[in-house]
Amino acid sequence: MPHAPDDATTWRGLWGETADVLDDRTAARWLCETASATFGDEFLSILDDPPTVRMVRRLDEMVARHRTGEPLQYVLGHWSFRRLDLAIDRRVLIPRPETEVVAGAALEFAAAVGPTRTVVDLGTGSGAIGLALADELPIVGTTVWLTDASADALDVARANLAGIGRCAQNVRIAAGSWFDALPPDLRADVIVSNPPYVADGSTDLAASVAEWEPADALLGGADGLDDIRVIVAGASDHLRPDGALVIEIGADQGAAVRRLLTDADYGDIEIRPDLAGRDRIAVARRPR
C-alpha cells in the first residue's frame, strides 16, 4: 500500500492495490469510497482523480485496522440496514441481514394498525430496527420507542436518530433494562426485539464476533434464553389486546421459544425463517 501518493496515484490504482492486499475487491471499494467521502457512482466518477495525502492516510489506517481482524463494518464506521445508512462502532452490534427480516415482520404488524400506532424496539443497539420502522411507517400517527440497558449503545442510537430526517420527531429513547425503561402505562401495538440469545460459552461464535462485538449484546445465559424469557413474560403487560410480539431468536431455539410463548398464553404463534431458511423470528399475539 502507498503511504505517500505521487502525481500518478489515482483512485483506480488505490482500489486495485487495496483489493490485492485484502484479496477482496468489494471491501476495497467500500474502504476507498469511505476514504474519498464518495458513494456508489460518485466513486466511479473519480477513479482517474488523484487522492489527497489525508485521504490516502485515512485509507492506510482503515486497511491496517481491517488486517488486524477488526470487522469491516467497524472500520468503515457505518453500515446499511434496510433504507438506512447507520453509524456504527464497537459500542453496538453490527446490524445483520436477518435482522432486516425481523424489522420487516414488525413493520407488517405495525402497518396493519391505524390510524395511530406505537412500536417498541427493546435492546435497540445502533437503533437499527426501531429507526427503520420510524423511517418506513407513516409519519402521521407513529410513535417508536427505542430502549437499551447500555448508555453507550443509546449514544450511538441517538446519533443515528439525528440522521433520519423528519420522522425522528416520532422517536423516543429510554434507558433501562427491558420493560423497566418504559413508562409503566405504555401499551404498544408491536414490541420487537433482537435480544442477546447466544448461550454463554458457545463455541459457535465466529472469532471476529467474539473478539470485537459487545458481549452484553450477544450472550443470553446458560441456554441463551434468559433475556427472551424476560421479554416473553413482560410483553403482555405492555401490549394492547391483539398486539404483536416479534423476537429474533437463535436458529436452534424455535421449539423452546414456541413453548415459552404457548406457556405464557400468546396466540397465533409462528416461528418464521430468515433469508437462509433457518428458524429466526418468533411472532405471537397477546390474547384479546
Ligand X SMILES: C[S@@+](CC[C@H](N)C(=O)[O-])C[C@H]1O[C@@H](n2cnc3c(N)ncnc32)[C@H](O)[C@@H]1O
Which span (40-48, 91-99, 164-172, 273-281) binds ligand X, by CB under 6 A? 91-99
Tell me how far apart the terminal alpha carbons of the chain are, to the nearest angstrom. Answer: 63
Using the rule CB under 6 A, is 71 a contact of ligand X? Answer: no
Question: How many H-runs (helices) and E-runs (strands) does the chain carry?
Answer: 11, 9
E strand or H helix at 189: strand 188-193
Q: Map residues 139-178 to x or -, x wherever contact with ligand X holds by CB under 6 A.
A: --------xxxx--x-----------------------xx
What does residue 146 show for φ and ψ, rounded to 5 degrees? -110, 130
Q: Is residue 3 a contact partner of residue 58, using CB atoms and an 8 Å limit?
A: no
Which span (1-9, 26-34, 90-98, 271-279) binds ligand X, by CB under 6 A? 90-98
Report the length, in residues, of the chain. Answer: 288
Which span (6-14, 36-44, 93-101, 236-244) binds ligand X, by CB under 6 A? 93-101
E strand or H helix at 272: strand 267-273
Side chain identity, residue 228: I
Q: Which of 55, 105, 128, 171 binds ligand X (CB under 6 A)?
A: 128
Q: Which of 34, 73, 99, 118 binds ligand X (CB under 6 A)?
A: 99
CB of 32 or CB of 249, closer to ligand X: 249
CB of 76 or CB of 92, closer to ligand X: 92
Using the rule CB under 6 A, is 195 a contact of ligand X? Answer: yes
Report how far residue 183's alpha carbon sits from residue 177's, in angstroms, rounded to the nearest whole number.
Answer: 12
* Smallest separation (angstroms) from ligand X to the CB of 201: 17
Residues in 220-259 that interact with ligand X by CB under 6 A: 227
Using the rule CB under 6 A, is 200 a contact of ligand X? Answer: no
CB of 75 or CB of 122, closer to ligand X: 122
* Smallest separation (angstroms) from ligand X to the CB of 56: 32
Which among 183, 184, 146, 181 has a CA at the least distance from the CA of 167?
146
- Grid cell for residue 286: 397477546
Which span (26-34, 42-50, 126-134, 161-169) binds ligand X, by CB under 6 A? 126-134
Q: Which of 51, 71, 123, 254 binds ligand X (CB under 6 A)?
A: 123
Which among 187, 190, 186 has a CA at the least distance from the CA of 110?
190
CA dist 253 to 215, 223, 279, Å? 19, 9, 8
Q: Which of 137, 217, 232, 260 binds ligand X (CB under 6 A)?
A: 217
* Smallest separation (angstroms) from ligand X to the CB of 235: 13
Burial 209-248 (b: 16+ CB within 10 A, else e): eeeebbeebbbbeeebbbbbbbbbebbbebbeeebbbbbb
Q: Which of 51, 71, 196, 254 binds ligand X (CB under 6 A)?
A: 196
Using the rule CB under 6 A, is 124 a contact of ligand X? Answer: yes
Residues that bind ligand X (CB under 6 A): 92-93, 95, 99, 123-126, 128-129, 147-150, 153, 177-178, 194-196, 216-217, 227
